[in-house]
Each structure stands twice: as structure tokens, then as C-alpha cells.
Amino acid sequence: MSRIDVDIGDIVHQGQTLAVLEVPELKAELQQTVFQLQQTKEEIARAQHEINRAEAEHARCTQRRSGLSSSSGPTGFDCATGTGRCRGKDLSSEAQVDAAKSAMAAAQEHTGAAQSDNQRVEALHNYTNVRAPLDGVVIWRYADTGH
């Protein structure tokens, strides 16, 4: 028992805190879920940055490829070979965009799981706050703080 806010004969109102229980293991678990939730949010931010980077690279490759395929004239450049290489880079950058989006989906799934776990532990932690079920007078107390 961490603290008891009422004593025998006290008038209490519904929802009033009567006592707060101390459960160190539950408090540690709650802190852990908060930390995990923060980590998953950072994972989402990293995934978003990777998507942005991959999309920018893909746009650059696509633009370069379209510029090569439309070039003509005596540049001394073999357009067919250059376009093929650019097409390969274009496909590779497209695959990187897809991979980044998959990483984002996984990060969002991890966040959902972390939020669910955090809510579960928070609900359990809320039970450490003992509240009056109704208005009345305390007529008996079965607990003591032990101090």
C-alpha cells in the first residue's frame, strides 16, 4: 500500500480516491511499454524518411531515363545501351520505394501492437488507484500502509 487517503468515519464521494496501491513490477512494465511505443514512433519516422529518399531517387532515375530516350544527335552516346542501364536503375529505385513502403507498413503494425500493449498495462495500472464505488461513509478499513 503506497498511501491511504481516508480513515474510518470519513465521508467519501463516488469516484474519490481512497487509496493508492504500490505495484513496482506493474510500474516498470508500464514504463517499458511507453518506451516501446516511443521506439515504434521513431521507427515510423525513419521509414518515412526512407520512403521520401527512395521516391526522390526514383524520380531522378525516371527523369534521367526519359531524357536519354528522347535525346538524339551526334553525342557519341549509345542511347539504346544508356537507356537500358537507366531502365535498370529505374527498376531498382522503384523496388527500393516498394521496400521502404513495406518497412513503413511493418513499423505501423509494430506501433499498433505497442499501443495495444501500452493500453492493456495502463488499464491494469489504473486498478492501483482504489476509488469509492458510491457516496457514503467509511465504516471499515482492511488495509494499512505498513509504515
pLDDT in tens, 34-48: 999 999 999 999 999
Question: Residues of the chain with pLDDT > 90: what percent?
Answer: 64
Query: Quick check: 57 pLDDT over 50?
Result: yes
Please state, in angstroms and rounded to a whole number, the distance separating the CA atoms of residues 128 and 118: 16
The mean per-residue pLDDT over the stretch 19-40 comes to 95
> If you average pLDDT over residues 117-123, what whole number do you get?
96
Nearest to 101 by CA among 35, 34, 53: 53
**What is the pTM assigned to this prediction?**
0.64
Could you tell me the CA-to-CA distances from 119 to 20, 46, 76, 125 in Å, in that order? 19, 24, 65, 10
Query: Does pLDDT of 30 surpass 90?
Result: yes
Asked if residue 6 lies in contact with residue 138, where contact means CB atoms within 8 angstroms, the answer is: yes
Summarize the confidence of residues 68-73 as an average pLDDT. 55
Which pLDDT does position 73 carry in this prediction? 47
pLDDT at 20: 93
Let me know: does 132 contact 12? Beta carbons within 8 Å.
yes
pLDDT value for 79 = 43
Average pLDDT, the chain: 86
